[in-house]
A and B are shown apart, each in its own frame.
Chain A
């Protein structure tokens, strides 16, 4: 049994039509799993389902063996999930440090060590710690956003298109940081538009088409699969 195992997920937003059909996602400890696929394939929706932002008609989500299907997103944060939304993922008029503090809002213990860890992981965050997060560049904001999510010391970190709208150099930098995070033993589930680059760092890749699993394999294998390359990676 994987650390995160979401099985048989079927459902959509509110009372709307089903977007996901029998979707499966799983991530092992310290592993990077990447969800890729064409526009409208339900990539973000699949991840939001894991985070409890969706009404699932069928299926179950288990984290570390515990069934969390019925929990709200906030409760899932308590259970060890961290989520970085694609947009509006920082507090723009608060300082970078305050952003991290807010990330630790649910913690009652001393979170200074965690802040230090985040600073170590993201030197840019440390440098800008007293600046307002809204004044930072796109790549730096994403680092702050990831840092904020790490403040709860999650066991699973979910990232919704962390590299959307940043330059290729910044993207590489961000991926490096994400690998670093995974090395500390945190499992990562990530939705990505930049499929090729994302699969390169992925231990496991999910190719979704119309809310269903189309291909699932290691990142390497998917990159090597001619069918996947032709259809989803542009040759």
Chain B
């Protein structure tokens, strides 16, 4: 019995908690991709860099606050800096939209053209970020590191397996829930949010109804900048800030959005968790869990790991391919165009 509990704790500690946090980060990232797809109708390859840019501003402002001695006590100072990150990312995407994307909307360019354009934007943002902060790995999480320490948990429960709950993990979930609730309230209850959905649903009819497309596009960019900054900051707090990582996140984020159904916000959230849980479960070494569950005194030879963590991209990719083959519109019906 105790062994089963221990196995459960190990599984929670190494799979459920990290995957939930990662899933929330992916979900918020995928929401940004899916909103751009729904409103501007292209896959934005620069989304990873937008996340990196927003996070970079958060990181810099956090540093500034720390040097002034401002802090949030047990919570990371980065939370205070978050609004500034969102402002920075908003300014960046609005500037990009004005100078780059607007032209292609006007000439009604094919969506694939916009994808290539977004690749150029990605290149430039990449260069700008590196020019500002370089390529170093930076940690900017401060405050209390743990909510529950593994050692305390062991003492508390008397189990041999510890359960650690980091502040950033809980924070990720809380912020993610708040963000998603706010987003859905905005999309479903406000006039502006509804007009965005209307535009995404049927552009011509939205125009006929007097919805101003440029305003919808602008609001979308603002929302996307906020989502990207939140996702990037949560990821950076949970792990660390490395500019190149955000480009690598592009694949799992796209996979989440597509698996859920491109253009569908609910789908993006579901997709994020599907991808995160598959990735973490498949790359987790189950040795500990199996040892607890197996007969007394027996332990497996190997790590009991389905796939090495180096292949976590392969997991997103495999799920993506399976969905593309069997349900091309995604779990929640996305756009078929």
A touching B, CB within 8 angstroms: yes
Interface residues on B, range: 10 to 19
Question: Does A91 reach chain B (CB closer than 8 Å)?
Answer: yes
- Evaluate contact between A91 and B210: CB separation under 8 angstroms: no
How far is A94 from B211 in the complex, measured between Cα atoms in Å?
15
Q: Report chain B residues within 8 Å CB of A206.
A: none
**The residue from A73, A85, A88, A94 contacting B194, defined by CB atoms under 8 A apart:** A94
* A77, A102, A106 pick with most chain B CB within 10 angstroms: A102
B202 at the interface (CB under 8 A from A): yes
B205 touches A98 (CB 8 A): no
Partner of A105, one of B197, B202, B209: B209
B194 with A98: CB separation less than 8 A: yes
The chain B residue with its CB closest to the CB of A145 is B205
Q: How far is the CB of A53 from chain B (nearest CB, A)?
A: 10
Cα A102 to Cα B190 with chains together (Å):
11
B204 interface contact, C-beta 8 A: yes
For chain A, the bracket of interface size reads 20 to 34
State whether B202 touches A92 (Cβ < 8 A).
Answer: yes
Given contacts A93-B197, A94-B197, contact A106 B210 (CB under 8 A): yes
Q: How far is the CA of A73 from the CA of B205 in the complex (A)?
A: 11
Interface presence of B201 (CB below 8 A): yes
Known contacts being A85-B204, A91-B202, is A106 close to B209, with CB within 8 Å? yes
Contact present for A105 and B201 (CB under 8 Å)? no
Chain A: CB-nearest residue to B210: A106
Check A94–B210 contact: CB distance below 8 A: no
Whether A130 sits at the interface, judged by CB under 8 Å, is: no
Task: Please provide the 4 A-B residue pairs with the shortest distance between their CB atoms, ordered closest to farther.
Answer: A106-B210, A91-B201, A102-B198, A105-B209
Known contacts A91-B197, A92-B202; can you find 13 more A-B pairs with CB under 8 A? A73-B207, A77-B208, A85-B208, A91-B206, A94-B194, A94-B197, A102-B205, A103-B209, A105-B195, A105-B209, A148-B205, A148-B209, A152-B210
